[in-house]
Chain A
Amino acid sequence: MATETDTREIHIPANLLDELDRYIGDLKIDLNSERRKGYLIQILHKAQSLFGFLPEPLQIIISQKLNISHAEISGVISFYNYFTATPKGRYRISVCMGTACFVKGGEKLLEEFEKFLEIKAGEVTPDGKYSIDALRCIGACGLAPVVMINDKIYGNVTVKQVGDIIEDCLLMEAEA
């Protein structure tokens, strides 16, 4: 079950917005130059790392700051797989579906995670805790099949370990 979030109601924390502001300020962008657009993607990366996703109000803020139309920005966001306009889970489970992982059973892992959490790839659990995504190669093919939880990589994963990995997330949550 995917949770549909109305992004217009999203509250954007002021302190994070300040940080984004500082980041953009440090780039010393000439707003009259066509080349200001060259900064867009790195700013979207920064924004997504701060907020977790790129809700519409945030897109509009960035659009105003860079003097780039909102339509263009949302076109860019929809083009690149890395960017997301809807929130992900606190624990982002990315199952690698690159070739090396695919031939070593990545698909079975994905199915197992889907079964375990009762959501499909691309969805978030109703409590907002987990999301599952299929990913294309993170360059750790030597350890295929590979699963990534947020930034932590698990190599040589077997279907049986899926439960343990979810447990790991619970532990992380308890620590935090």
Chain B
Amino acid sequence: MKKITDMKSYLEVKNELSEIKKQNTNSKILIGYGTCGIAAGAGEIYEALEESIISGEILNCELVKVGCVGYCHAEPTIELQYPDGTSVLLGNLHPHTVPEVVAGYLSNFKKKGKHVLEKNVTCDVTKV
């Protein structure tokens, strides 16, 4: 790993990372993997999605374990990030149905439905 020594080298690393991010045309599935999420079954959700990615049922997607967004009442939750930068937060998921649900939201870019908790959970604080 490259050592960061000043603002210049920091920005180099950061820009390189955003470049990689930009070129990545995959959608991302962020799984809420905090204590609450895990207790509510995030592990099973992860496994189910991993299987569907391997089997090809879900295409062009990456799975990432993240912390908690605070929707404890709707755990397990996942956030789908589309390649265009928009996103949708889904909750009340079940391992048996989650591959189908995710595939549906991925193909239609749907932003409505019973699983949707919030759209475009982003934060402007670090954007500037």
Contact = CB atoms under 8 A, between A and B. Distances in A.
Interface of A: 138-143, 146, 153-155
Bin the interface of chain B by size: under 10
A140 B75 CA distance: 11
Contacts of A139: 35-36
Interface of B: 35-36, 38-40, 72-73, 75
Contacts of B35: 138-140, 153
A111 B35 CA distance: 25
B5 to A, nearest CB: 29
A153 B42 CA distance: 12
5 contacts: A140-B36, A143-B72, A153-B35, A153-B38, A155-B39
B48 to A, nearest CB: 19
B43 to A, nearest CB: 11
Given A139-B36, A140-B35, A140-B39, 12 more contacts: A138-B35, A139-B35, A140-B36, A141-B72, A142-B72, A143-B39, A143-B72, A143-B75, A146-B39, A153-B35, A153-B39, A155-B40
Q: Which of B36, B38, B39 has the most CB of A within 10 A?
A: B39
Contacts of B36: 139-140, 142-143, 155
Nearest to A142: B72
Contacts of A140: 35-36, 39
A142 to B, nearest CB: 2
B18 to A, nearest CB: 33
